[in-house]
Amino acid sequence: MRGRQAAWSNPRLQKLAQSFVPVADEVWFLHNRKGPECDFFRSFCEEGHYGGRQKPTSTRQGIYCAAPSGVFLASVNSTDPKRLEAMLTQALERWRELPEAERYMKDPPKAGATDRFRTDSRYPANGLVLRVYTRDLPRKNPKHRGWRAKAWNEDFAWFTADEARTFVPTRREVGARRTIDAQLAGRLARCHLVDNVFGQTRPFRKGEIKTAELTSRIERIEGTQVHVVFEGETHAAAEGSWNMGGLRFEKKKMTRGYKARLRGTAVFDTATKRFTSFELVVVGDRWGGTQYNARDDDLEPAAMGVVFVLAGDSASDRVAPAHYWSY
């Protein structure tokens, strides 16, 4: 997440990346699951910076360069633009030196051969796909400096076509209201109103959702365009003992939560049965932390915001939500 601003916004790295086919993907899946693309990753990742490592974790995350055949070229796990530039330059030198016969697979790979192994294949093409942004909001006494002062994170939220339609009041007249299904509102609170601003976190459990209320109201109707306003509030609170401190693995008695208000607007087209716009803004206080969300020194309540907006439909907009398996 830090690499977005520290490394990949750098024009020199962006120019170097043009000599490659650049791809971003989830490393645990590639390292541990089945399918030709996971086999492909495992064919070279042990030659990289974390090859053979089991402690403090067995992760293989980082930046890798490889030939289409799977021949390893270079790798590093860093957000330092200079180290990345050196690694990419080295990889290109090795690529140029690599004999033609070692550059490519003997049988050209077929598109779609790995789809059935991926969560992305469950993408709700006819449903509602939202991009989710999270960010800390201004405080009286700013707590963070450096990258954390400017950090934000992103995710996706998926709704099937049937679920999406329940965001709109059934009675199509101005002033009509609808209470969003508790299971759906609860899912938003559990899986998406989470503190991932500085890094990955866990979803909340169902029993940890104290309040998850969202209502929609028809504000106006223009032909087939139904304009809707959302309002609501959520409160999630968890307590227990869990690891904190990233790779220090320090188990502590903790609480964590998020209490917030929601307001949004959307336009639903009754002809296509699709949303043509959607925006939901969430503002409230978060507290506590989890092992990898870098809140060890920031446990007291402080303001955090979340925004949901309509995603595009390009391949890079089809990545599965982080907590899809908790839906």
Partner 1 sequence: MKPLVAGVVCLLLFATASAEEKPLDAAWQAKWRAAIVPAEPERAWRRVGWRATLWSAVVEAHAQEKPILLWAMNGHPLACT
- Of 270 and 303, which CB lies nearer to partner 1 in the complex structure? 303
305 makes contact with partner 1 (CB under 8 A): yes
64 makes contact with partner 1 (CB under 8 A): yes
Among 111, 116, 146, 241, interactor with partner 1 by CB under 8 A:
111
Least distance (Å) from partner 1 to the CB of residue 245?
Answer: 16
- Of 165-173, 182-190, 242-250, 296-304, the window that binds partner 1 (rule: CB under 8 A) is 296-304
- Of 45 and 254, which CB lies nearer to partner 1 in the complex structure? 45
DSSP per residue over 69-96, as a string? T--EEEEE----HHHHHHHHHHHHHHHH
- Of 238 and 282, which CB lies nearer to partner 1 in the complex structure? 282
Judging by beta carbons within 10 Å of its beta carbon (0-12, 13-18, 19+), is residue 123 exposed, middle or buried?
middle
Query: Which residue's entry shows tokens 């541990």?
Result: 32
DSSP per residue over 96-162, as a string? HHS-GGGTS-SSPPPTTTTGGG-GGGG--TTSEEEEEEEEE---SS----GGGGG-EEEEEEEE-HH
277 makes contact with partner 1 (CB under 8 A): no
- Of 12 and 273, which CB lies nearer to partner 1 in the complex structure? 12
Question: How many angstroms separate the CA atoms of 266 and 252, rounded?
Answer: 42
Question: How many angstroms separate the CA atoms of 117 and 121, rounded?
Answer: 8
- Of 162-170, 236-244, 248-256, 297-305, the window that binds partner 1 (rule: CB under 8 A) is 297-305
- Of 198 and 268, which CB lies nearer to partner 1 in the complex structure? 198
Among 281, 296, 299, 326, interactor with partner 1 by CB under 8 A:
281
**Interaction with partner 1 in 123-182: which residues (CB under 8 A)?**
133-135, 137-140, 150, 152-156
218 makes contact with partner 1 (CB under 8 A): no
Question: How many angstroms separate the CA atoms of 305 and 282, rounded?
Answer: 6
CA-based nearest residue to 155, from 123, 184, 173, 129 = 129
- Of 25 and 181, which CB lies nearer to partner 1 in the complex structure? 25
Among 85, 208, 279, 296, interactor with partner 1 by CB under 8 A:
279
54 makes contact with partner 1 (CB under 8 A): no
* Greatest C-alpha distance within the chain: 70
315 makes contact with partner 1 (CB under 8 A): yes
Question: How many angstroms separate the CA atoms of 307 and 294, rounded?
Answer: 21
